[in-house]
Amino acid sequence: MDATIQAKVNTWLNGGFDQATQDEIKRLEKENPKELTEAFYKNLEFGTGGLRGIMGVGTNRMNKYTVGMATQGYANYLKKSFPNEDVRVAIAHDSRNNSRFFAETVAGIFGANGIKVFLFESLRPTPELSFAIGTLK
C-alpha cells in the first residue's frame, strides 16, 4: 500500500474515530486490501451536485466523517465570508440511504458553529428547499 494511503488509514485507526469504523478498516485490511486502498486513495470531492460516492469507511467514501469535514469547511468559509452577519442555512433531505442521518449531521455541525439552521422534518423536493432559502434568506 502506498505510504500516503497508509498514513490516512493509520489516522483513522488511531484517531478519534468510532469503534465500528476502526473495526471495518481492520476487516478490510485482512479481507480486501484493494477495497481499503480505494476507500482511502483520495478525498471525496464536493462537486456541483454536492458530495456523492459509495457509502463506507474512508476518505473517499460517504460517511459521517467525510460529510462532517466538508460541512466544517463550509461553515468556516461562511463565517469568514460573512463575519458580521447572522449566517443561516436551510437543509433538506431526500429518500436516498442515510439522507436524513447526513442532514442531521450537517445541521449539528452548523449549529455547533453558531450558524442558524432550518432543517426540514421530512422529505422535501429540491424546489421546496430553493424556496425556503429565498424565503428565509
Give burial (CB, 10 Å; 0-12/13-18/19+) of 66: buried
Q: What is the pLDDT of residue 35?
A: 97
DSSP string, 16-42: S--HHHHHHHHHHHHH-HHHHHHHHSS
Strand, helix or coil for residue 88: strand
Q: Which residues of 19-35 are buried (b: 16+ CB within 10 A; e: fewer)?
A: eebeebbeebeeeeeee
Q: What is the pLDDT of residue 36?
A: 97
Q: What is the pLDDT of residue 115?
A: 97
Separation in Å, CA 126 to CA 45, 76, 97, 122: 21, 25, 17, 13
In the chain, where the domains are located: 1-62, 83-137
- In the chain, the amino acid numbered 116 is K
Q: What is the pLDDT of residue 1?
A: 81
10-residue mean pLDDT profile of the chain (137 residues): values are 94 95 97 97 88 95 96 97 95 93 98 97 93 93
Report the alpha-carbon distance of residue 114 to residue 117 in Å, rounded.
Answer: 9
Q: What is the pLDDT of residue 50?
A: 84
CA-based R_g, the chain, Å: 17
